[in-house]
Amino acid sequence: VSATGRAVADVLVDGETIRAVLEPGSTLLGTDVAASVDRVIDAAGKYVIPGGIDAHTHMQLPFGGTEASDTFETGTRAAAWGGTTSIIDFAVQTYGQRVEDGLAAWHEKAAGNCAIDYGFHQIVGDVNEDSLAAMRRLPDEGVSSFKLFMAYPGVFYSDDAQILKAMQVSRDTGMLTMMHAENGPAIDVLAQQLVDQGKTDPYYHGIARAWEMEEEATHRAIMLAKLTGAPLYVVHVSAKQAVEQLAWARDKGQNVYGETCPQYLYLSLEEQLGAESEQWGHFEGAKWVCSTPLRSREERHQDAMWQALRTNDLQMVSTDHCPFCMKDQKELGLGDFRKIPNGIGSIEHRMDLMYQGVVTGEITLERWVELTSTTPARMFGLAGRKGAIQPGADADIVVYDPNGHTSIGLEKTHHMNMDYSAWEGYEIDGHVDTVLSRGKVIVDGDEYLGAKGDGRFLKRGLSSYLV
């Protein structure tokens, strides 16, 4: 199955790459292909798809006074279990740090530890003259996109002047500007007012981070991108009004893109409000505190996300994998939702969760592949190497069994380094059977055959979506 169609075929892998896609029973240079290879993986009755590419992850991210609980080792192994064979993680420049030093620190965290191939975007948390100069050198490092934050004043936040300057670099270099589009200063006022009223439960995180704050910031980012001519990619879109902004800009011919995440397709603010457990009481809702926040099911944001994935107002699905345990991590926000580290862990389940969209008829089989693999590759400068089963591409291949079944839960399918699952109890029609990373079988049924260090750094080129 590819982004453009499906066919019965044999895929010939030679070493780390795909040699050919052949009609079953083909001969190559006079020899029967199937009879002359070292190993045959029988995928009859199953889908053979390009390995998933999760273009938005945060391994070991220092955030909210703690650090995301998956290391590059545990997080990429969990990814492999779930049929994802490449990630693009966010290297971080913190306030006061040099961009080069932030990037070097990320290389140090990841090198030799990953189960699958990995690339980096650069978070620029301190836009200043030195950073702007350093950003111009990033494409030579294989880092062809950077993320700015309109949220989190005092942490990663950029004001409009900083965004404008960074976007001028984006226009000049062809690097994609990735935007966390929420009006942080306004959100922080609303959050303070809620806390002052004693409204401290996790649910109020989503009330403070109202959709108006996402719509406004998305519009502002679009206008700054229009003014500067920067290509713009809005991350973790969850509000239907933000999608309307993207669609509006795209209809006017602007080079603007967006992703959503499984949590915004399936989980809702109402469920978060209703969440309660013996152990955590109403603080149970902290499991789903992320930014942008879960939106109201009643307001039909989820339906709008599915629709946008069909109509291409949104182009891809990433996880924004940013896991924190409840114990000692999410717990930091007991009594004050502002102190709950933001993030949900989903890297292991993205392919399965999105396949449910095929099962329920929200998207086609081809669109599933496109949203989870082909477009991420093209969007982020990996076209030709990743995201398609074609001659010359890396042999990153998943055999997916549509008749298989996957039960998600902490005691079931769970390889992420977390003490809970945000997806506890989800039952998936479908199962990742076999995973090849650059020709090596790393998941074979219920056996893990990969190793830490299998994954290599991906020097990315510029986006195929530049015009």
Binding site for Zn ion (CB under 5 A): 180, 320
Binding region for ligand URP (CB under 6 A): 58, 180, 236, 290-291, 320, 322, 342-343
CB of 237 to ligand URP, least distance (A): 12
How many residues appear in the chain? Answer: 467
Q: Between 184 and 387, name the residue whose CB sits nearer to ligand URP.
A: 184
**Least distance from Zn ion to the Cβ atom of residue 103, Å:** 17
Distance of closest approach, residue 130 Cβ to ligand URP, in angstroms: 24
Strand partners, 146: 122, 177
Backbone angles phi, psi at 347, to 5 degrees: -55, -30
In this complex, which beta carbon is closest to ligand URP, that of residue 18 or of residue 59? 59
Q: Which does 342 bind (CB under 5 to 8 A by kind): ligand URP, Zn ion, none?
A: ligand URP
Cβ atoms of 286 and 333 within 8 Å: the answer is yes
| Of residues 125 and 343, the one with the C-beta less far from ligand URP | 343
Q: For 236-389, where are the E strands, in sequence order?
A: 256-260, 316-317
User: Closest approach of Cβ 184 to Zn ion, in Å?
Assistant: 11
Those residues with Cβ within 8 angstroms of residue 253's Cβ, 6 or more apart along the chain or in another chain: none
How far apart CA 275 and CA 132 sit, in angstroms, is 44
Q: Which is nearer to ligand URP, 2 or 342 (CB)?
A: 342
- Considering CB distances under 5 to 8 angstroms, the limit depending on partner class, which of ligand URP, Zn ion, none binds residue 370? none
Closest by CA to 314, choosing from 383, 386, 264, is 264
For residues 345 and 60, give the distance between their C-alpha atoms in angstroms, rounded to a whole number: 12
With respect to ligand URP, which residue has the nearer C-beta, 182 or 362? 182
Quick one: what does residue 343 bind among Zn ion, ligand URP, none, with the CB cut-off 5 to 8 Å set by partner type? ligand URP
Nearest residue to Zn ion, scored by beta-carbon proximity: 180
Residue (284 or 320) nearer to ligand URP, CB:
320
Q: Which of ligand URP, Zn ion, none does 319 bind, CB closer than 5 to 8 A by kind?
A: none
Sign of CA dihedral 29, 34, 35, 40: positive
Binds 219, which of Zn ion, ligand URP, none (CB < 5 to 8 A, cut-off by type)? Answer: none
Q: Which residue is nearest to ligand URP (CB)?
A: 342
Q: Which of 237, 262, 103 is nearest to 180 (CA)?
A: 237
Q: Minimal distance in Å, beta carbon 32 to ligand URP?
A: 50
- Of the pair 153, 384, the CB lying nearest ligand URP is at 153
Question: The tokens of 278 are what?
Answer: 């013996």
**Smallest separation, CB 13 to Zn ion (Å):** 33
From residue 408, give the alpha-carbon distance in Å to each of 75, 253, 405, 412, 421.
16, 41, 10, 6, 8
| In the complex, minimum distance from the CB of residue 261 to ligand URP, in angstroms, rounded to a whole number | 8
**Torsion sign, CA atoms 366, 368, 372, 376:** positive
